[in-house]
Structure 1
Amino acid sequence: MTTHDILGQTVTMPVEVRDGTNATVMYDVSLEAAQALAPTGFEVIETEPGRAQFALALVDYKDNDLGAYLEIGTIFFVRPEGGGPDGNIITHLPVTEHFTCVAGNQIWGFPKSVEKIEATNDESTSRWTLEIDGELVLDITLPRGGTEEMPPMELVSYTLIDGRPHRTPFTQGGSGTGLFFGADVTLSLGSHPIAKELASLGLPDAPVVLTTWTEQMRATFGDPEPL
């Protein structure tokens, strides 16, 4: 059993998420634009000729080994150029708490930073805003709800640790899941450099492929493994 010392606290692997809400908005974007934002050493997966998918992940961690916090991730779907399973890579991962930021950086190489995130829910929608250094990055409203069970899926997330590619196995599932095709998603972008990256992908006007919502998410994150 692997452990990590983070700010004087022991984190035992795998890290377990017992409860959280998770939303994902997937966009159809230009493959060339996506590849321009992906880290060196990873090939963005082509979904159709010249096209790829980009996701915004919005997570409210409520009961988690790393604490309770909000998180927003910018995600591309990739494979290592040297070969390996398809997975995702996160280019920005703002969070609202310091401990999970340090743990995410040190254990996995996730690009976490502590920023201002606000989330408000009503019966059928969820609204999230992200500000960095006093500048708006994004303001997004998406559908909320669902009754489906989602069994744990075995997935892979890629990161760079000291410049070397690593793969992290993780699982994600839960209950209260809804899938929304052609859903009404409202996204506004600000003036921050990350907002400009999103604009380079064609957001906010890029087509929304799929929106998901999971009311009670459960997940585990294993140790990173060098490629």
Structure 2
Amino acid sequence: MRGTERHDPTDADAVTLSTGQTLEFPVPIDSTISSVILPADWDAAAGLLPPGLSPVRAGLGTAAVWLMGAQHRNVGGGALADYDEFALMISATAGDPAGIPYVSPLLRTETYVWYMPVTTESARAFGDELWGYPKVVADIDIEERDGRRRTRVTVDGDHLLTFAVERPPMIPRDDTLITYAVQDETLLRIEADMVGEMGLWPYTTAFSLTLGEHPKAETLRSLDLGDRAFARLFGEGRLRFPAGKPVGAS
């Protein structure tokens, strides 16, 4: 892990990134998020997960894949420059697949972060060095017009994807967003608190998705993503990210 040491989430010690910025756990971020949760082939999704995780079973032979666009501001109280982000995540939980019951992905917010382009090098170092998120620097264009938010992602000059999601009604809500990542060959669980507004609309076709020519887009095609989403989701508020805990640690 470049320039950092792993910390317990209760610590408030300063951690300095390789790019020079200093932050403290838990790291506060003001974020706007738009996401669509799509059905995918379970076996293909399982092949993208690290040992120790299995896809949430969202139906017979079906997993759930999240496409998320986000704008992050006031990171660490301004310690890090504002940046935009795209994440491809798979609904997953720790354990053997044989022991995981069928469950709606709307009731399970645990996800493994498989790919996470961001718009700045400091944002890449932030996610990679503190949690092991698979971040790369990319061009991300996020715009909202007439209640529809569009995210276009280009990596190394190749179009990865463009997706757009209609904004559902928003209500005040507190939530915990659980993600998994691998850092130094250790599977980590990160539980981020969110306070703000959230909107979720289940079983919807009010989105669009176009896959590009980037090699990662071919992997997305292999997932056989469905054209009717489990949900579309928006969120606006304050996130607080602690350090990750190794899966299985008390």
Q: TM-score, normalised by structure 1?
A: 0.90
**Contact 1:20–1:218 (Cα < 8 Å) also in 2:** yes
Distance change (3 Å), C-alpha of 1:73 and 1:212: same
Deviations along 1:107-161, one digit per CA (max 9) or x if unpaired, are 100111110111111131111100111111101111125331122x123221111
* Aligned match of 2:155: 132
Where does 1:1-227 land on structure 2 (aligned, <5 Å)? Answer: 1-6=12-17, 7-17=19-29, 19-65=30-76, 66-81=80-95, 87-144=110-167, 146-151=169-174, 153-175=175-197, 177-181=198-202, 182-203=204-225, 205-214=226-235, 216-227=236-247
Separation in 1, partners of 2:143, 2:177? 28
Matched AA of 2:93: R
CA RMSD of aligned residues (A): 2.1
SS at match of 1:37: coil
Classify 1:52/1:154 alpha carbon distance in 2 versus 1 (closer, same or farther; 3 Å).
same
Note if contact 1:123-1:144 (Cα within 8 Å) is conserved in structure 2.
no
Tell me which protein shows more strand as a share of its residues: 1
Conserved? CA contact 1:143–1:183, under 8 Å: no
1:160-192 deviation digits (Å, cap 9, x = unpaired): 1111111122112322x3323314211110111
CA pair 4-192 structure 1, distance change in 2 beyond 3 A: same
- Where structure 2 has 5 or more consecutive residues not aligned to the other structure, the ranges are 1-11, 100-107
**Counterpart AA for 2:57:** E
Q: In 2, distance between residues paired with 1:131 and 1:61?
A: 18
Once the two structures are TM-superposed, the CA of residue 86 in structure 1 deviates from its matched residue by 7.7
- Equivalent position amino acid for 1:171 in 2: D
Question: Aligned partners of 1:21 and 1:155: how far apart in 2?
Answer: 14
Residues 29 and 206 in structure 1, CA contact (< 8 A), matched pair in contact too: no
Separation in 1 of the partners of 2:109 and 2:206?
29
**What residue identity is the alignment partner of 2:138?**
E
Give SS of 1:88's match: strand
Amino acid at match of 2:145: D
CA contact (8 A) 2:69 2:142 kept: no
Contiguous gaps of at least 5 residues in structure 1: none
